[in-house]
Structure 1
Amino acid sequence: MDEGRLRRLAGALEQGPAAYGFGVDQRWTLARVSDVIARMFRTRCTLRGTTNIMYRLG
Structure 2
Amino acid sequence: MRYPQGGGLTAQRREMRERLRFQAAAGFARGDTNTVIAKQLRVSVRSVQQWRRDWRTGGREALRSKGPASLPLLSDEQFRVLERELAKGPAEHGWPDQKWTLARIKTVIGRRFHISYTVKGVALLLHRNGFAL
Shared fold per TM-score greater than 0.5: yes
1:52 and 1:20 mapped to 2: Cα distance? 22
What 5-or-longer segments of structure 1 have no aligned partner?
none
State the alpha-carbon separation in 2 of the partners of residues 54 and 35 from structure 1: 14
User: Are residues 1:13 and 2:108 paired?
Assistant: no
How many residues matched?
Answer: 57
Structure 1 runs of 4+ aligned residues shifted over 2 Å read none
Tell me which residue corresponds to 1:43.
Answer: 115
How big is the alpha-carbon RMSD for the aligned residues of Structure 1 and Structure 2? Answer: 0.9
Measure, in 1, the Cα distance between the counterparts of 2:115 and 2:75: 14
- What is the percentage of aligned positions where both structures have the same residue? 39
Residue type at the aligned position of 2:106: S
1:54 aligns to 2:104 (yes or no)? no
- Offset from partner CA, 1:3-51 (integer Å, 9 cap, x none): 000100000000000110002x211000000000000001111011100
Task: Find the residue that maps to 1:43 and give its secondary structure.
Answer: coil
Alpha-carbon distance in 1 for matches of 2:129, 2:121: 13
For 1:57 and 1:18, the matched residues in 2 are separated by 23
TM-score of the superposition, structure 1-length normalised?
A: 0.90
1:26 alignment partner in structure 2: 98
Structure label with greater radius of gyration: 2
* Inter-partner Cα distance in structure 2 for 1:27 and 1:51: 15
Q: Which stretches in structure 2 are left out of the alignment for 5+ residues?
A: 1-73
